[in-house]
Amino acid sequence: MRKSSILVFVLMLVVLFAAFSTVAAQDVVTIGVFQPQTGENGGGGFQEVLGTRYANTVYPTIEVGGKTYTIQLYEVDNKSDKTEAVTAAQNLVSKNVNAVIGSYGSGVSIAAGAIFEEAQIPAMGASCTNPQVTLGNDYYFRVAFLDPFQGTVMANYAFQNGAKTAAVITQLGDDYSSGLGKFFVDAFVKLAGEKAVVSQEQFQTNQTDFKAILGNIKATNPDVIFAPSSITTAPLIIKQAREMGITAKIMAGDTWENVTIIENAGKDAEGVVLSTFYDEADPSTEESAKFVEGFKKYLVENNQPDIIPAVSALSYDAYLAIYNAMKLADSVDPVAIRDALVNTEFDGVTGHIFFDENGDAVKNMAVIKVIENGEFKFLQNVTIE
């Protein structure tokens, strides 16, 4: 009789534990973090991961539908590779995540886009700037400005600072590099004339010797070189150009705002100009001021330099976009989140954010920085209407 009572008691515990587990599972909302933490863009991807992780410490729970949910992150590494990106995206779908943040790198974002759309899981890009990321995909949004805008900003900056000729270096098969390079060319030609772009060179993924293409560029003697590329290739291009006696101003896009470029290129990085999304010295919203103070402490605690990368600020905003959409939807259902994103509007770290019909953040301002005395220095804000 006693053994029977013990057995009944054990069974009751099992049932109660199962019931508790079910309730607990229902009280968790999962955001997938789709980023490269290894490969060519691993450095930039990790910066975005840090921004998302920090956002999760600031906003760890959400109350919707009369319940309080714990927000957990599920991270996958797309390894800076389009094939791996598909596998990583499928992994997120299999985990039934409620929404996705990422990715650093437009190519991997484009590769995964159809998977998220088919699964009806909303994805929020942080710094993926190629128009194809969101175009025709009802489930992909982003908080960054686009490459047509960024290319125009840099072309305007070059022209307004006296450049009459330009050379452009892009990476074959990389959507970000080739896209941004083309938009710069189109804008610069409109400003300086049909013959203003004197050289357009391309290089292969994992290439480390740029002397041949730099030799072609040197022969044309351009005023500026625009080289949108990865963090890995940037210092190689910079150092080899200076070693060959090329004195043209070197310019790039947002990916070059990474301290490892300065560390690896050394004094040769002096004077490099780039466009980016955010400057910590100019917090434009209450959320931004709060972010600067808190994230700097978070970086130090995680053994990182206390310089805030713009992509970290963007990934924080990507988290906020999903958070605000869940609030607006009063639901954690993925389709409801997606539908709410269309009408979501909030003050983020990088400014006031809302989305157009393509899911792109409506923005018209970029930040120009220069590398000076081994640091990224603010030059100016540029607005293009």
pLDDT one digit per residue (tens) for the chain, 385 residues: 454 555 544 455 544 454 444 444 469 999 999 999 999 999 999 999 999 999 999 999 999 999 999 999 999 999 999 999 999 999 999 999 999 999 999 999 999 999 999 999 999 999 999 999 999 999 999 999 999 999 999 999 999 999 999 999 999 999 999 999 999 999 999 999 999 999 999 999 999 999 999 999 999 999 999 999 999 999 999 999 999 999 999 999 999 999 999 999 999 999 999 999 999 887 878 999 999 999 999 999 999 988 899 999 999 999 999 999 999 999 999 999 999 999 999 999 999 999 999 999 998 889 999 999 999 999 988 877 6
| Cα distances (Å, whole numbers) of residue 71 to 26, 97, 98, 325 | 11, 11, 10, 14
Burial 299-315 (b: 16+ CB within 10 A, else e): beeeebeeebbbbbbbb
**Extended beta strands in the chain, E state:** 28-35, 61-64, 67-77, 99-101, 123-125, 140-142, 166-171, 197-203, 224-226, 249-252, 273-276, 345-348, 351-354, 365-372, 375-383
Fold classification of 148-276+368-383 (topology level): Rossmann fold (3.40.50)
C-alpha span between 40 and 60 (Å, rounded): 31
196-199 own/partner pairs: CB under 8 Å, 24+ apart: 196/164, 196/165, 196/166, 197/165, 197/166, 197/167, 197/168, 198/165, 198/166, 198/167, 198/222, 199/167, 199/168
Phi, psi of 273 (to 5 degrees): -115, 140
Cβ atoms 29, 112 nearer than 8 A: no
pLDDT at 284: 78
C-alpha span between 108 and 123 (Å, rounded): 13
Domain(s) labelled CATH 3.40.50.2300 in the chain stretch across: 22-145+281-354, 148-276+368-383
pLDDT at 121: 98
Of the candidates 222, 280, 232, which has an alpha carbon nearest to the alpha carbon of residue 256? 232
Cβ atoms 121, 100 nearer than 8 A: yes
Cβ atoms 106, 132 nearer than 8 A: yes
Structure tokens at 277: 């999304």
Q: Give the residues across from 35 on adjacent strands.
A: 77
Structure tokens at 271: 């004077």
User: Reduced to 3 DSSP states, what percent helix, strand and coil does the chain have, rounded to the nearest 5?
Assistant: 45, 20, 30
Pairing of strands 140-142, 123-125: parallel
Q: Count other C-beta atoms under 10 Å from residue 346's C-beta.
A: 17
pTM of the predicted protein model? 0.84
pLDDT at 381: 86
Residue in the structure block whose two tokens are 């490892």: 260
Cβ atoms 116, 124 nearer than 8 A: no
pLDDT at 6: 55
| Strand order from edge to edge, sheet including 249-252 | 197-203, 166-171, 224-226, 249-252, 273-276, 365-372, 375-383
Structure tokens at 278: 């955010």
Q: Count other C-beta atoms under 10 Å from residue 33's C-beta.
A: 27
Query: What CATH class is the domain 22-145+281-354?
Result: alpha beta
Whether the upstream peptide bond of residue 315 has omega within 30° of 0, thus cis, is no
